[in-house]
Structure formats: C-alpha cells, structure tokens
C-alpha cells in the first residue's frame, strides 16, 4: 500500500471529527476571545478550516517560504464550513498525487530565507499538516466549553455527548 493511502484515510476520518466541532460554533460569538493574546473563535476556526488545504499547497514545494500572518476573522459559520470542505478536498487532491519517493524526499521550510525546518515531506505532513490541526481543534473544543456550548464527541465521550451510551444501556 502506498504511504499516502494511510494519510488520506486519516485525513478523511479526522475531517468528520473536525466538522462536528465546527458545526457547534456559535455564530454570534465568532469575535470572542478567551484571553487578549488568543485568536478569536472565528480566527481559530478559520485556521482549522483552511489549515490542511494551505499546508498541502506548501508541501508541494521542496523549499517553502513561510509567512506568519494571523488567520482572517470569520463572519459566519457557513464561511468556516465552506472553507473547511474546500480545503479538505484540496488537501486530499494534492496528497493523492504524491508517490512514496515524493513523501520521503526532504521538505524545507524557511522564514526570510532562513531554514527553520528540514524534514522528510511525510514528517511535515504528519506533524504540521495533521497534528497541528488536531491541536487547534482541541483548542476549539475548549473555546466551546468556555462558551457553554455542548462539546461534541471527538475520540470518545465528552461531558456533553456519549456516542456509546445506547450501546452500554443495551
């Protein structure tokens, strides 16, 4: 099995979990921040929504110039979900064209021409494109809790949702 097949299966599976979190975002609170140094709910959600598509575009290049800009402020939940669907599809399309040799080749990230990361491309995909987004999805779940919004099940029961309750009761 090509390496990319495992990545694509994970991307598809995790997209379902991420969508559950994004669907819970209270539209009237997109400008809310838990702390002055934090991204707003809408910025963090757009970072998660666009992240994998943007990072997949970056991983095509052997050397990528990284720009550090805050994510845009989302205006609506629909904007976030549309961006998420578009960027998930983009990531799957880009990654689906990569063979094992491409995935094992070195990828380099630079800021202002200075190398900050040089790893096998699959390492970048694993740690930055996937794990990085899961980390921010976790932050979003904390934002939901702080806003008193029911947190969806992600990997198992949350305090608000137990997908196994019906099975356990049977």
CATH of the domain at 122: 1.20.120.450
Q: What's this model's pTM, rounded to 2 decimal places?
A: 0.93
Number of separate domains in the chain: 1
d(CA 23, CA 125): 25
Quote the domain boundaries for residue 143: 3-169
Question: What is the Cα–Cα distance from 87 to 160, expressed in whole angstroms?
Answer: 29
| The pLDDT of residue 168 is above 90 | no
Phi, psi dihedral angles at 117 (to 5 degrees): -155, 130
**pLDDT digit string, tens, across residues 84-128:** 999 999 999 999 999 999 999 999 999 999 999 999 999 999 999
């Amino acid at each position: 099995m090509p390496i990319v097949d495992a990545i694509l299966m994970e991307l598809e599976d995790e997209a379902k979990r991420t969508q559950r979190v994004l669907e819970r975002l209270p539209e009237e609170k997109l400008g809310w921040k838990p702390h002055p140094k934090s991204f707003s709910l809408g910025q963090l959600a757009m970072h998660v929504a666009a992240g994998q598509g943007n990072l997949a575009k970056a991983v095509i290049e052997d050397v990528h110039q990284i720009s550090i800009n805050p994510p845009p402020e989302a205006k609506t939940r629909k904007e976030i979900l549309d961006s998420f669907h578009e960027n998930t599809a983009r990531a799957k399309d880009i990654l689906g064209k990569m063979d094992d040799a491409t995935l094992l080749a070195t990828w380099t990230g630079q800021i202002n021409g200075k190398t900050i990361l040089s790893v096998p491309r699959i390492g970048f995909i694993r740690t930055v494109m996937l794990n990085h987004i899961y980390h921010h999805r976790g932050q979003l779940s904390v934002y939901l809790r702080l806003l008193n919004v029911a947190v969806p099940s992600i990997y198992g029961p949350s305090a608000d949702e137990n997908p196994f309750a019906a099975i356990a009761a049977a």
